[in-house]
Structure 1
Amino acid sequence: MKGDRVEVVVDAGGDTRTYEIEATRAGRRLDITQGRGLVEVTEVTRGGTPVRTARFMANRVIALVEHPATQEPTAEEIVTLRRAA
């Protein structure tokens, strides 16, 4: 869902780098897969088509933190309905 975010902290040889990947549009989600020495974070559409992918070497990943989107409606999502008199 839009607003889902994943933070990946990677060891960069004596330094750490933080990458943030976010679902950019409504209906998209983030999928995380691990295997064969890689960690992949993929933004996927409702139909399952991958939009973009970030790949990291698993032995360099220090932390992977998922931040789900809030379920509360924002001011943009609240619609006021008025009746015609």
Structure 2
Amino acid sequence: MKTELGPRLGVNVKLVQLISYTDWNETKDKKRGQWINYNNDLMMKPDSIKEISQYADAISPDYHMLLNNKDGKPQCRLQV
């Protein structure tokens, strides 16, 4: 959208990468007749922000990733 469709239509919009954990099972793709989870593990690796910055203008983690769990430790496993 950002590099092809937007320029062709004369639209310049910001691209935001939504971030979630693979084990949340919230995003599925149908492959070979079966629904499987998207693998979001790439987003949780130490160099992920650098890679995402090559195509996205911002990231947006789910708000659950920003809240503390019951023991007071952050839930986010994203390494920056």
Higher strand share: 1
Instruction: Kindly name which structure, 1 or 2, has the bigger radius of gyration based on alpha carbons.
Output: 1
| TM norm structure 2 | 0.28
TM-score under structure 1 length normalisation: 0.27
